[in-house]
Every structure is written in structure tokens, then in C-alpha cells.
């Protein structure tokens, strides 16, 4: 089973060598089996990727993420039509009813809110704030028509970062979360495409200019887990997100999980 995210900073050439990706960087060559890889993240402006490698990445359901000059993921290359009943699944997706979407969204944001409460608890948030968040979660309705998720998120971020904090602030912690969420989004988009679903057709998100509405829906419960990982592992020593910090954030996707 694929598990590895390969991060390439200022590489020279990426090409296919048998069933491996061959990475040229300066005078070195590194080989990674394609069967191990879930995603490749590229930084820098000099890297060349061969079309033969791109073709094999699609066949192996490997996502390719491109970062901009600020190291934030801005593009993703996904496999096309690899699922065996792709058309059938897309037709079913397009026919999801309003009731089905409302029920699914309740499950999604319900899990997100549960994870926010647990993350806040592990980060030492006081009990009175946890109780307020639990009360908000208890009132969740189909489709979250009363926006309990938004109200709980406000309490959640205020409790961890202070009441003056907003997600629009130009601060280190937001840079870290933005990078982490972008990696989460890319990984979720890869899973959606591999499942034969269309990334544009969402459950709650429905922005006509967004090509990843469904990925944005499905990644919601994982945001608080990323928040916790960042708070526990990324120190605010710099006023910018260092290369080492970006690697540590990517490590979140490679953690072992205990199931049952």
C-alpha cells in the first residue's frame, strides 16, 4: 500500500526509471518505488518532469502538487478516469438529493466539531470553553442550518490563540495552517479522483470557480487533527515557514494509525 509523500525542493529532473521515480538533483540521483508513493510535492522553479513519468503517475494514482514562490500548493495533477465504473459513479454523484447532502454534511461537520473539541482538550483549553463547544455540537441539525460549525470554530480558535486572532491574520501560525490544509486538500482530491468521483461536485461547498468542492467538504474533519499536529510539532521560531517546518507538516500525512 502506498504511504510516502515525496517532497522535492529545487530538483533538476524527474523521470521514470523502470517502476521508480528517478530524481536528479545536482550530481545526485535518488530512486523511489512508485508503489510506495501517494503524492509528490514540488517546490522551486527549475524542475523538469517528463511526460512518461506523468503518464505513469496517473496509472499509479499518484498526485503531483506544485507550490508557488511562497511554498504554498497552488496546483495539482490528478489521475483521470482510472476508476473502473467512472461514468456510473459520476452520474450517481450528480443525482445526490438535497436530503442526502444535508445528512452527509451533518456527519462531516459533526466529526469535525468532535475533533476540534478533542484537539482543544489535548492542547489544554479550559473546561468551561470545552463545555461551550460541546453545547454547540449538541445542537447540530441536518445540513447545519443554524451554522453551529461556524460558531464552534470561533470559540475553538479564540480558545487556542486568543480572542484577537483571526484566520486572515498575516502570522506564522496561519502560514503553517494554510500549508497544512493545502496538503490535506491535495491528498483528499487524489482520493476523490481515485474513487471515480468528480472533485467539482460538492456536498456543501458549491463555488462555481472551485474545482475541488468535494475535496473541501471531505477534508473538514481532518483540519483539527492538522491543527493539533502543528501546535505540537512546529515551533514559532521564525517569522516565516521554514523548509524544515514544511517537511514536518508533510510528515502528518505519513503517521501510523491504530485501527480497532
pLDDT for 137: 97
All domains in the chain, ordered by first residue: 4-77 (3.100.10.20), 86-249 (1.20.120)
CA dist 251 and 229 (Å) reads 9
Phi, psi of 177 (to 5 degrees): -65, -40
Give the position of cell 453551529.
148
pLDDT for 22: 96
pLDDT for 117: 98
Is residue 199 a contact partner of residue 173, using CB atoms and an 8 Å limit? no
Grid coordinates representing 124 are: 489544554
Residue 99 class from Cβ within 10 Å (0-12 exposed, 13-18 middle, 19+ buried)?
exposed
Residue 144 CB: number of other CB atoms within 10 A?
19
Grid coordinates representing 197 are: 468521483
**What does the DSSP 8-state code read for residue 35?**
G
pLDDT along the chain (260 residues), means of 10: 86 92 92 94 91 94 91 87 78 95 97 98 96 96 95 96 91 93 93 89 94 95 97 81 92 86
Grid coordinates representing 151 are: 460558531
pLDDT for 27: 86
**Predicted structure pTM score:** 0.88
Is residue 162 a contact partner of residue 125, using CB atoms and an 8 Å limit? no
For the chain, what's the residue count? 260
Helices assigned H by DSSP within the chain:
51-59, 86-94, 98-122, 127-138, 148-161, 172-194, 213-218, 223-233, 243-251
CA dist 145 and 181 (Å) reads 25
Grid coordinates representing 163 are: 480572542
Amino acid at each position: 500500500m502506498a504511504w510516502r509523500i515525496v517532497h522535492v525542493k529545487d530538483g533538476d529532473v524527474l523521470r521514470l526509471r523502470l517502476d521508480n521515480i528517478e530524481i536528479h538533483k545536482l550530481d545526485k540521483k535518488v530512486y523511489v518505488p512508485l508503489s510506495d508513493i501517494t503524492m509528490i510535492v514540488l517546490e522551486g522553479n527549475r524542475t523538469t518532469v517528463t511526460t512518461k513519468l506523468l503518464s505513469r503517475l496517473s496509472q499509479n494514482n499518484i498526485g503531483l502538487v506544485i507550490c508557488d514562490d511562497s511554498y504554498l500548493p497552488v496546483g495539482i495533477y490528478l489521475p483521470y478516469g482510472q476508476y473502473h465504473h467512472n461514468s456510473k459513479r459520476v452520474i450517481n454523484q450528480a443525482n445526490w438529493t438535497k436530503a442526502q447532502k444535508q445528512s452527509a454534511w451533518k456527519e462531516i461537520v459533526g466529526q469535525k466539531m468532535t475533533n476540534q473539541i478533542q484537539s482543544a482538550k489535548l492542547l489544554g483549553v479550559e473546561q468551561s470553553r470545552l463545555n461551550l463547544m460541546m453545547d454547540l455540537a449538541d445542537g447540530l441539525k441536518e445540513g447545519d442550518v443554524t451554522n453551529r460549525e461556524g460558531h464552534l470554530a470561533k470559540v475553538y480558535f479564540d480558545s487556542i490563540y486568543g480572542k484577537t486572532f483571526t484566520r486572515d491574520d498575516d502570522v506564522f501560525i496561519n502560514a503553517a495552517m494554510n500549508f497544512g490544509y493545502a496538503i490535506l486538500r491535495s491528498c483528499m482530491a487524489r482520493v476523490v479522483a481515485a474513487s471515480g468521483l468528480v472533485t467539482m461536485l460538492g456536498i456543501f461547498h458549491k463555488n462555481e470557480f472551485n474545482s475541488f468542492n468535494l475535496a473541501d467538504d471531505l477534508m473538514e474533519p481532518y483540519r483539527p487533527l492538522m491543527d493539533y499536529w502543528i501546535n505540537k510539532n512546529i515551533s514559532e521560531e521564525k517569522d516565516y515557514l521554514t523548509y524544515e517546518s514544511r517537511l514536518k507538516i508533510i510528515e502528518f500525512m505519513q503517521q501510523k494509525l491504530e485501527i480497532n
